[in-house]
Amino acid sequence: MEPHFIKGGKYEKWNPLFETLATFAFTPKLVTNKGTHIRDGVDLKRTMFTVVIALIPCLIFGIYNTGHWEMAVVEGNRDLPYFSEMLSKFLMGLAIVLPVVVVSYGVGLTIEFIFGMLRGHSLHEGFLVSGMLIPLTMPADVPLWMVGLATAFAVIIGKEIFGGTGMNVVNIALTARAFLFFAYPTSMSGDKVWMSGLGEKMNTNAADLDGFSGATALGDLASFMSDKATVAGEAVQSNLAVQSFSNEYGAWEAFMGMIPGSIGETSTMACLIGALLLVFTGVGSLRIILSFFIGGFVMGLLLNLVGGNPYLDLPAYYHLIIGGFAFGAVFMATDPVTASQTATGKIIYGFFGGFLAIMIRVLNPAYPEGVFLAILFMNVMAPIIDHYVVQANINRRLKRLKTI
Amino acid sequence: MSNTISIRKGLNIRLVGEATKEIKEVPVSGIFGVSPLDFHGLTPKMAVKEGDTVLVGDVLFFDKKKETIKFVSPVSGSVKQIVRGEKRKIISVLVESDGKQEAKGFSIKPMKDQTAEDVKNLLLESGFWSSMKQRPLDIIADPSNNAKGLFVSSFDSAPLAPDYEFILKDEMEVLQIGFDALSVMMEGKVHLSSKPNSNFSKIQGVIHHSFDGLHPAGNVGTQMHHIDPVNKGEFVWSINIQEVAEIGKFLTSGSINSSRKMALTGSEVTTTTYLNVTRGSQIKPLVKNAVDATNVRYISGNVLTGDKKELTDYIGHYHNQITVIPEGNEYKFFLTSGWLGHGFDKFSNSRLFPTFLLPKSKKFRLDTNTNGEERAFVVSGELERVFPFDILPVQLTKAAITNDIDGMENLGIYEVAPEDFALCEYVCTTKINIQEKIRQGLDLIASECM
Touching A: B residues 421-440, CB under 8 Å: 422, 425-431, 433-436
Query: Which pLDDT score is estimated for B32?
Result: 92
C-alpha closest to that of B365 among B161, B213, B159, B217 = B159
For chains A and B, CB pairs below 8 A equal 205
Helices and strands (H and E) in chain B: how many: 10, 21
Contacts of A126 in chain B (CB under 8 A): 378
Q: Which residue of B has its CA nearest to A38?
A: B368
CA angle in degrees (0–180, nearest 5) for B170-B173-B178: 115
Query: Which pLDDT score is estimated for A214?
Result: 65
Contacts of B226 in chain A (CB under 8 A): none
Instruction: Determine contact: A31 vs chain B, CB below 8 A.
Output: yes
B32: helix, strand or coil:
strand
Instruction: Determine contact: B295 vs chain A, CB below 8 A.
Output: no
C-alpha closest to that of B303 among B130, B139, B440, B419 = B419
B360: helix, strand or coil:
coil
Helix residue spans in B228-282 (DSSP H): 241-253
DSSP string, A152-179: HHIIIIIIGGGTSTTT-SS-HHHHHHHH
Instruction: Determine contact: B371 vs chain A, CB below 8 A.
Output: yes
* Contact: A165, B375; criterion CB under 8 Å: yes
C-alpha distance from B406 to closest chain A C-alpha (Å): 11
Domain boundaries, chain A: 2-27+43-192, 285-404
Query: Which pLDDT score is estimated for A207?
Result: 47
Instruction: Determine contact: B369 vs chain A, CB below 8 A.
Output: yes
Q: pTM value?
A: 0.87
Which of A26, A37, A398 is best to mutate for the B interface (most B CBs within 10 A)? A37
CA dist., res. A253 & res. A249, Å (int): 6
Cis peptide before B136 (omega within 30 of 0): yes
Which of B375, B386, B420, B432 is best to mutate for the A interface (most A CBs within 10 A)? B375
Q: What digits encode the pLDDT tens for the residues A318-351? A: 888 888 888 989 998 898 888 888 889 999 999 9
Which of B352, B363, B386, B434 is best to mutate for the A interface (most A CBs within 10 A)? B352
Contacts of A25 in chain B (CB under 8 A): 333-334, 338
Query: Which pLDDT score is estimated for B220?
Result: 92
Quote the crossing angle between the two packed helices A343-363 and A370-403, to the nearest 10°.
150
C-alpha closest to that of A364 among A310, A295, A296, A311 = A311
Instruction: Determine contact: B300 vs chain A, CB below 8 A.
Output: no
Q: Which residue of A has its CA nearest to B433?
A: A35
B237: helix, strand or coil:
strand
Q: Of A25, A43, A50, which has the smallest distance from its Cβ to B431's Cβ?
A: A43
Counting residues of chain A whose pLDDT is more than 70, the rounded percentage is 86
Q: Which residue of A has its CA nearest to B15?
A: A38
Touching A: B residues 302-331, CB under 8 Å: 303-306, 308, 323, 325, 327-331
Q: Which residue of A has its CA nearest to B427?
A: A40
Instruction: Determine contact: A402 vs chain B, CB below 8 A.
Output: no
Per-residue pLDDT of chain A in tens (404 residues, 90 and over written 9): 666 666 666 666 677 777 777 777 777 777 787 788 888 888 888 888 899 999 999 999 999 988 888 888 888 777 788 888 888 888 988 988 999 999 999 999 899 888 888 887 777 888 888 899 999 988 888 888 999 999 999 999 888 888 887 888 888 989 998 898 888 887 776 666 666 666 666 555 544 555 566 677 777 777 776 666 777 667 777 667 777 777 777 788 888 888 888 888 888 899 999 999 999 988 888 999 999 999 999 999 998 888 777 778 788 888 888 888 889 899 988 988 888 888 899 999 999 999 999 888 888 777 777 888 899 999 999 999 999 999 998 888 888 776 65
CB atoms within 10 A of CB A237: 10
Query: Which pLDDT score is estimated for B332?
Result: 78
Please report the beta strands in A35-83, taking only residues with DSSP state E, as ranges in sequence order: none
Instruction: For residue A16, give every residue at least 6 positions away whose Cβ sits within 8 Å of its Cβ, in sequence order, or none.
Output: A113, A116, A117, A120, A121, A122, A123
Query: Which pLDDT score is estimated for A238?
Result: 67
Q: Which residue of A has its CA nearest to B410?
A: A394
DSSP state of B3: P
Q: Show the low-confidence residues of chain B (pLDDT under 50).
A: 1
* Contact: A40, B371; criterion CB under 8 Å: yes
* Contact: A40, B375; criterion CB under 8 Å: no
Instruction: Determine contact: B368 vs chain A, CB below 8 A.
Output: yes
* Contact: A35, B422; criterion CB under 8 Å: yes
Q: Of A34, A50, A400, which has the smallest distance from its Cβ to B433's Cβ?
A: A34
Instruction: Determine contact: A50 vs chain B, CB below 8 A.
Output: yes
CA dist., res. B87 & res. B68, Å (int): 25
| Phi-psi region at A310: left, alpha or beta (left = phi > 0; alpha = psi -120 to 50) | alpha
User: How many CA atoms does the CB half-sphere of B347 hold within 13 Å?
Assistant: 21
B280: helix, strand or coil:
coil
> Are the C-beta atoms of B152 and B190 separated by less than 8 Å?
yes
Query: Which pLDDT score is estimated for A11?
Result: 67
Query: Which pLDDT score is estimated for B39?
Result: 92
> Are the C-beta atoms of B93 and B60 separated by less than 8 Å?
yes
* Contact: B368, A393; criterion CB under 8 Å: no
- Chain centroid, CA A265 distance in Å: 7
Contacts of A396 in chain B (CB under 8 A): 390
ipTM: 0.85
Which amino acid, residue A295? G
C-alpha distance from B411 to closest chain A C-alpha (Å): 6
* Contact: B390, A343; criterion CB under 8 Å: no
Q: Which residue of A has its CA nearest to B341?
A: A46
DSSP string, A250-279: -HHHHHHT-S--STTTS-HHHHHHHHHHHH
Counting residues of chain A whose pLDDT is more than 90, the rounded percentage is 23
Touching A: B residues 86-115, CB under 8 Å: none
Contacts of B343 in chain A (CB under 8 A): 41
Instruction: Determine contact: B404 vs chain A, CB below 8 A.
Output: no
Q: What digits encode the pLDDT tens for the residues A196-240? A: 666 666 555 544 555 566 677 777 777 776 666 777 667 777 667
Contacts of A130 in chain B (CB under 8 A): none
CA dist., res. B101 & res. B126, Å (int): 15
Q: Of A39, A125, A164, which has the smallest distance from its Cβ to B371's Cβ?
A: A39
A376 φ/ψ angles, rounded to the nearest 5 degrees: -60, -40
Instruction: Determine contact: A45 vs chain B, CB below 8 A.
Output: yes
> Are the C-beta atoms of B284 and B304 separated by less than 8 Å?
no
Q: Of A37, A282, A386, which has the smallest distance from its Cβ to B306's Cβ?
A: A37
Contacts of B327 in chain A (CB under 8 A): 31
Please report the beta strands in B35-76, taking only residues with DSSP state E, as ranges in sequence order: 44-46, 53-54, 59-63, 70-72
DSSP state of B15: B
